[in-house]
């Protein structure tokens, strides 16, 4: 009996180890494929900016866990201050805001090359480092992924050490310091409307 259990443990250990090892390269592949296909869309000369934007959003949506990013951005202290309906509204606005922002950033891209580093296992998460090499230097962009039920998903992006989630959190905290959940949602609505007007 004991022997059998020991065997089980051994098998489990092997399984866990390989699962982790595979995870690292899987996560790396996910990032590489996504970034590459975004860049391919940008290179399409016949497409309008709007069409490029839509294609980019479609290609990042399955890989980014926007809802989780929104939750993390609001943070442990603020999240309970929103009721169920407000949370839904918050998540919807956050996703729209983030997609607008990502698309704007990637539109700035012009002929830089991307270098991929070896993915790094950090506890149960994987960090995939990339460098954007431009004419006068290089900028680091780090993608942080976790294993969800449906595969590896991005939950934060760090640009030159600045985390997107943390940056949103700092601003939300500033608003929530004096305001309520409604104040925050109104500010977010304003922002999304502004972006939509600009696009038209």
Partner 1 sequence: MRDQSVEDSIVPVGTATRRTVATRFALLAMLLLLSMGLGCATVPERGCVAVAEDSAKDSADEDFDEFDDFDISEAPPPRDPLHVYNRFMFTCNDKAYTWVLRPVARVYRWVLPEPVRASVQKCANNLGFPVRFINSGLQGNFKGAGVELARFGINSTVGILGLFDPAASACDLQPADEDFGQTLGRYGVGPGWPLVLPLLGPTNIRDAFGMAPDYFLHPFSYIEPAETSLAVQGIEKENYLSLHMDEYEAIKEDAFDLYTFMRDAYRQKREAEIEE
Q: Which residues bind partner 1 (CB under 8 A)?
A: 1-2, 5, 8-9, 12-13, 16-17, 20, 68, 71-72, 75-77, 79-80, 101, 104-105, 108, 122-125, 134-138, 144, 146, 155-156, 158, 160-163, 165-167, 169-171, 173-175, 177, 187-188, 191, 195, 198
The residue among 10 and 33 lying less far from partner 1, judged by its C-beta, is 10
Which pair of structure tokens corresponds to residue 57?
């959003």
> Cβ(165)–Cβ(146) under 8 Å?
no
The residue among 14 and 33 lying less far from partner 1, judged by its C-beta, is 14
Least CB distance from residue 114 to partner 1, whole Å? 15
Least CB distance from residue 58 to partner 1, whole Å? 21
Task: Please state, in angstroms and rounded to a whole number, the distance separating the CA atoms of residues 51 and 60.
Answer: 14
Least CB distance from residue 55 to partner 1, whole Å? 19
The residue among 33 and 88 lying less far from partner 1, judged by its C-beta, is 88
* DSSP state letters, 142-191: EEEEEEETTEEEEEEEEETTEEHHHHHHHHHHHHHHHS-HHHHHHHHHHH
Question: What stretches of 57-136 adopt beta strand conformation (E)?
Answer: 113-116, 120-122, 125-134
Least CB distance from residue 33 to partner 1, whole Å? 23
Least CB distance from residue 21 to partner 1, whole Å? 10
Nearest to residue 45, comparing CAs of 94, 142, 115, 110? 110
């Amino acid at each position: 009996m004991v022997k059998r259990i020991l065997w089980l443990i051994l098998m489990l250990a092997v399984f866990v180890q390989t699962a982790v090892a595979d995870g690292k390269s899987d996560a790396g592949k996910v990032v590489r494929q996504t970034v590459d296909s975004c860049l391919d869309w940008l290179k399409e000369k016949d497409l309008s900016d709007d069409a490029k934007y839509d294609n980019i959003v479609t290609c990042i949506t399955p890989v980014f866990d926007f809802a989780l990013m929104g939750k993390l951005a609001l943070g442990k202290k603020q999240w309970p201050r929103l009721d169920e309906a407000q949370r839904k509204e918050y998540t919807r606005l956050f996703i729209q805001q983030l997609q607008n922002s990502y698309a704007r950033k990637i539109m700035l891209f012009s002929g830089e090359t991307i270098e991929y580093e070896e993915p790094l296992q950090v506890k149960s998460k994987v960090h995939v480092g990339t460098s954007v090499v431009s004419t006068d230097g290089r900028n680091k962009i780090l993608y942080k992924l976790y294993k969800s039920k449906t595969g590896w998903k991005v939950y934060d992006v760090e640009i030159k050490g600045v985390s997107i989630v943390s940056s949103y959190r700092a601003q939300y905290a500033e608003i929530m310091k004096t305001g309520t959940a409604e104040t925050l949602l109104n500010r977010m609505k304003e922002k999304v409307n502004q972006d939509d007007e600009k696009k038209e």
